[in-house]
Every structure is written in structure tokens, then in C-alpha cells.
């Protein structure tokens, strides 16, 4: 049976894609999916994407958002 250190050492030697799968799998065991919340979040994301694609809304550059946050926190 492997101990924690051996498992980590072996996992660290894997290609990045395989390590990402392991990390994702382990995180899912800590944070069990909430199907209702995930479904609601998916609907919101789909609606927002649809609004962007149809140009009903315009995207805001991330640096602009962070500048606004900095301005608010500076007050």
C-alpha cells in the first residue's frame, strides 16, 4: 500500500494533463456537486453567452473591471 508521500511523488511525475485529472477528481471528493445549483449556474451562463453572441450586451475588459474595483476600495 502506498503512503501519501509516495502517491504525491508518483502523481507529480505524470504529464500535466493527467495531474489535472487527478486534481479535479480529488477536489470533487471534497466539494460534492450540487446538481440544482450547477443547473441554475449553467442556465445563467448560457443566457449570458447568448446575450454576448447576439450583441445585446457588450463585454467589459477585465482590466477596466479591476480598475473600477481599485477605485472603490481606495475611497
pLDDT tens-place string over residues 36-62: 998 999 999 999 999 999 999 999 999
Domain ranges of the chain: 4-74
Distance CA 2, CA 42 (A): 39
Task: Mention every residue, 6+ apart, whose C-beta is less than 8 A from residue 10.
Answer: 2
Q: Is 71 left (phi over 0), alpha (psi -120 to 50) or beta?
A: alpha
- The CA–CA distances, whole Å, from 33 to 21, 26, 37, 40 equal 16, 13, 8, 12
Helix (H, G, I), strand (E, B) or coil at 14: coil
**In the predicted model, is pLDDT for residue 6 greater than 80?**
yes
Amino acid at each position: 500500500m502506498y503512503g501519501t508521500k509516495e502517491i504525491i511523488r508518483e502523481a507529480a511525475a505524470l504529464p500535466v494533463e493527467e495531474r489535472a485529472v487527478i486534481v479535479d477528481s480529488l477536489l470533487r471528493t471534497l466539494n460534492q456537486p450540487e446538481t440544482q445549483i450547477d443547473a441554475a449556474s449553467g442556465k445563467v451562463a448560457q443566457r449570458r453567452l447568448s446575450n454576448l453572441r447576439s450583441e445585446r450586451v457588450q463585454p467589459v475588459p477585465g482590466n477596466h473591471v479591476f480598475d473600477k474595483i481599485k477605485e472603490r476600495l481606495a475611497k
